[in-house]
């Protein structure tokens, strides 16, 4: 490791500390927590792109799956909803699975031709009709249960930390299905296929209210860390805060954020160690061999598509885990926020800034890019203010410029991506 690498991490830490001194430590810790989550997403993307050369443009979809997992695990179950709709939903699911099984059996059994096409189509049509006749009324019934508060099935009321592995697992499952279909496509086709699959996943999360409450959001998810109000009521905490010289209210909020930071840092550390081990093991060397020359690797008997599927599943699982962590941090599921520009493409910028193929690079990229993603607005506002103050507050141009600062993030990130590709194509911490 060169001296440059740790220096850059110290620089990143200094940036966050600077926010602590200039703005507030509350803001600094919020940024830090999201930086850690971003670093985890970047690790997952780096696994796929950096080590295997796979274009996954569906990151936002896996992040959203992680978010849904958090609701499924930790939200309290809505008993009434289960009662009115649970049975019919189960029947609908059974019909759906049976239809698919029957259709694929027909597809395999009957010889290609018009007869096969017609019978598969007929099975699917009848199956869809039967499925909808159970599914639609079930959904209607569930969504009519106290729509203002519930209107969905709820979760299992389990400890929220369980959602993290489950989020990873669900994302892995989805990635397996997607990978089975879409891997093996040429790079840019895979990108387009995963981009659209993510849009479909987002559409499901936004619209299937019986499952996620859709854009009505699920709020008040339980936390893995104490609540501020409980801390403020605890004499022990209050006296401890006073002894450090901070008032109890801000101390409680800092404590909660620090607790999240600790959890996230632990997860990041574990994932980093695992990625490093994997990459330095024969497995990692094989992945790089496949990335650098697929044809040659296949020629010497490497199972290219199998390895690709594996790394696609693992990388997506990490994104799912990060999604679950993010929803846990926010304490609510807000499907409206899942935007490919913010998640998928930002994660790409992180990996390219950090250095594709380098785990440390991915972490650094995740931290730096998230930091600037948040702070560009502040920095931009200061710059815009200084550039236009002479126009006077009444000037429409000044007003427009000041309003536009809110939209500075995307072009800045695009610019950073282009500059990196051109001048530092190997990233800040290049692969060895």
Partner 1 sequence: MDFLHALIVFCNFVAVPALAYGSQLALGALGVTIVFGILRFSNFAHGDTMAFGTMVAILATWWLQSQGIGIHPLPTALLALPIAIAATAALLLATDRLVYRFFRSKRSPPVIFVAASIGVMMLFHGLVRLIIGPWNQRFSDGERFIVSAREFKTATGLNEGLAIKTSQAITAVVAVAIVAVLFWFLNRTKTGKSMRAYSDNPDLALLSGIKPERVVAICWVLTAALATVAGVLYGLDKSFKPFTYFQLLLPIFAAAIVGGLGNPVGAIAGGFLVAFSEISVTYAFKKVLGYVLPEYLAPDGLAQLLSTDYKLAVSFTILVITLLIRPTGLLGAPRQ
Can you state the angle between helices 304-330 and 163-182, rounded to 10 degrees?
140
Binding residue (CB under 8 A) for partner 1 from 76, 159, 414, 424: 414
Positive or negative CA dihedral for 178, 183, 188, 189?
Answer: negative
Our finding on whether 424 is near partner 1 (CB under 8 A) is no
Our finding on whether 345 is near partner 1 (CB under 8 A) is yes
Binding residue (CB under 8 A) for partner 1 from 352, 353, 368, 369: 352
Can you state the angle between helices 25-45 and 304-330, rounded to 10 degrees?
160
Binding residue (CB under 8 A) for partner 1 from 197, 248, 271, 287: 197
The least distance separating partner 1 from the CB of residue 189, rounded to whole angstroms, comes to: 6
Instruction: Give, in degrees to the nearest 5, the angle at Cα 172 between 170 and 175.
Output: 110
Contacts of 264 (CB under 8 A, 6+ apart): 33, 36, 37, 40, 325, 329
Binding residue (CB under 8 A) for partner 1 from 246, 332, 408, 431: 408
Our finding on whether 383 is near partner 1 (CB under 8 A) is no
Nearer to partner 1 (CB atom), residue 212 or residue 252: 212
The least distance separating partner 1 from the CB of residue 401, rounded to whole angstroms, comes to: 9
Binding mask 47-86 for partner 1 (x = CB under 8 A): ------x-x-------------------------------
Binding residue (CB under 8 A) for partner 1 from 413, 427, 428, 429: 413
Binding residue (CB under 8 A) for partner 1 from 5, 80, 199, 294: 199
| DSSP per-residue string spanning 139-196 | HHHHHTSSTTT--S-------GGGHHHHHHHHHHHHHHHHHHHHTTS-HHHHHHHHHH
Binding mask 105-144 for partner 1 (x = CB under 8 A): -----------------------x---x---x--------
User: Residue 218 forms beta bridges with which residues?
Assistant: 333
The least distance separating partner 1 from the CB of residue 257, rounded to whole angstroms, comes to: 30
Our finding on whether 412 is near partner 1 (CB under 8 A) is yes
Our finding on whether 192 is near partner 1 (CB under 8 A) is yes
Cα distances (angstroms) measured from residue 20 to each of 13, 17, 25, 262, 266: 11, 5, 4, 17, 22
Compute how many residues bind partner 1; rule: CB under 8 A: 45
Distance CA 133, CA 410 (A): 44
Nearer to partner 1 (CB atom), residue 306 or residue 411: 411
Cα distances (angstroms) measured from residue 56 to each of 11, 49, 52, 169, 198: 30, 7, 11, 18, 10
Contacting residues toward partner 1, per CB under 8 A: 53, 55, 128, 132, 136, 181-182, 185-189, 191-193, 195-197, 199-200, 203-204, 206-207, 339, 341, 345, 348-349, 352, 404, 407-415, 417-418, 421-422, 425
């Amino acid at each position: 490791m060169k001296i440059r690498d740790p220096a850059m991490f110290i620089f990143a830490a200094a940036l966050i500390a600077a926010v602590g001194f200039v703005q507030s430590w509350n803001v600094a810790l919020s940024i830090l927590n999201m930086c850690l989550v971003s670093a985890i997403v970047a690790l997952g993307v780096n696994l796929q792109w950096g080590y295997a050369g796979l274009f996954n443009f569906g990151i936002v979809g896996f992040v959203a799956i992680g978010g849904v997992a958090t609701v499924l695990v930790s939200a309290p179950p809505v008993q009434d909803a289960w009662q009115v709709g649970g049975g019919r939903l189960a029947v609908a699911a059974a019909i759906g699975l049976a239809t698919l099984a029957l259709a694929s059996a027909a597809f395999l059994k009957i010889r290609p031709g018009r007869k096969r096409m017609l019978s598969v189509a007929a099975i699917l049509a009848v199956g869809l009709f039967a499925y909808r006749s159970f599914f639609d009324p079930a959904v209607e019934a569930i969504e009519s249960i106290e729509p203002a508060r519930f209107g969905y099935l709820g979760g299992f009321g389990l400890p929220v930390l369980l959602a993290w592995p489950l989020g990873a697992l669900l994302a892995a499952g989805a990635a397996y299905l997607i990978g089975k279909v879409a891997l093996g496509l040429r790079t840019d086709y895979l990108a387009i296929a995963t981009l659209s699959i993510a849009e479909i996943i987002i559409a499901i999360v936004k619209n299937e209210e019986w499952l996620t409450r859709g854009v009505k959001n699920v709020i008040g998810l339980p936390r893995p860390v104490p609540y501020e109000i409980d801390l403020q009521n605890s004499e022990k905490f209050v006296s401890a805060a006073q002894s450090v010289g901070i008032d109890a209210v801000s101390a409680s909020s800092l404590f909660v954020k620090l607790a999240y930071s600790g959890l996230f840092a632990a997860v990041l550390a574990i994932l980093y160690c695992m990625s490093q081990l994997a990459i330095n093991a024969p497995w990692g060397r094989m992945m790089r061999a496949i990335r650098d020359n697929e044809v040659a690797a296949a020629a010497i008997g490497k199972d290219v598509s199998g390895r690709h599927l594996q790394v696609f599943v693992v990388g997506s699982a990490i994104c799912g885990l990060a999604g679950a962590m993010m929803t846990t941090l926010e304490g609510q599921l807000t499907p409206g926020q899942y935007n490919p520009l913010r998640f998928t493409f930002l994660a790409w910028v992180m990996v390219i800034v950090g250095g594709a193929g380098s785990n440390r690079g991915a972490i650094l990229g995740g931290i730096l890019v998230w930091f600037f993603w948040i702070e560009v607005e502040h920095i931009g506002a200061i710059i815009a203010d200084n550039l236009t103050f002479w126009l006077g507050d009444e000037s429409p141009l000044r007003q427009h410029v000041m309003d536009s600062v809110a939209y500075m993030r995307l072009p800045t990130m695009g610019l950073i991506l282009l500059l990196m590709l051109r001048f530092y194509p190997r990233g800040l911490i290049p692969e060895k």
